[in-house]
Amino acid sequence: MNSVILLKYSALVPFMDFNSATAMLSLHFGMYFWLCEDNDFIYCPANEDGTADSDNWGYVSEWTELEDVDFDKLFTIHRHLVTDKVTEYEQIRA
């Protein structure tokens, strides 16, 4: 299994239609990833100072240049986001 370095942040995401999300910064991709309220896989580039470039967010499903994408790493990020979201849901429900 390829190792993936992820930094997890609980942050306000004012450029989306929800109040907060758990975003992950992928050092491999140089992007933040999160799941929106509708569970869409969203991304935005990270600036050199580590902040999110919130003006350039988009849906991973709309990526068209896929030749150089490491899908193992991308799916690992998605798996972590889904696991975190389910865990959070279960904690609220309990």
Q: Is residue 54 in a domain?
A: yes
What is the structure's pLDDT at 20?
A: 41
For residue 36, which of 81, 91, 90 has the smallest C-alpha distance?
81
Over residues 45-72, mean pLDDT: 92
Residue 1 belongs to a domain: no
Q: Which domain holds residue 85?
A: 6-93
Tell me the whole-structure pTM to 2 decimals.
0.80
The domain tally of the chain equals 1
The sign one gets for the Cα dihedral 83, 88, 89, 93 is: positive
Q: Is 27 contained in some domain?
A: yes
Establish if 81 belongs to a structural domain. yes
Asked, for residue 13, whether it belongs to a domain, the answer is yes
Domain membership flag for residue 16: yes
Tokens of 19: 């109040």
pLDDT at residue 31 greater than cutoff 70: yes
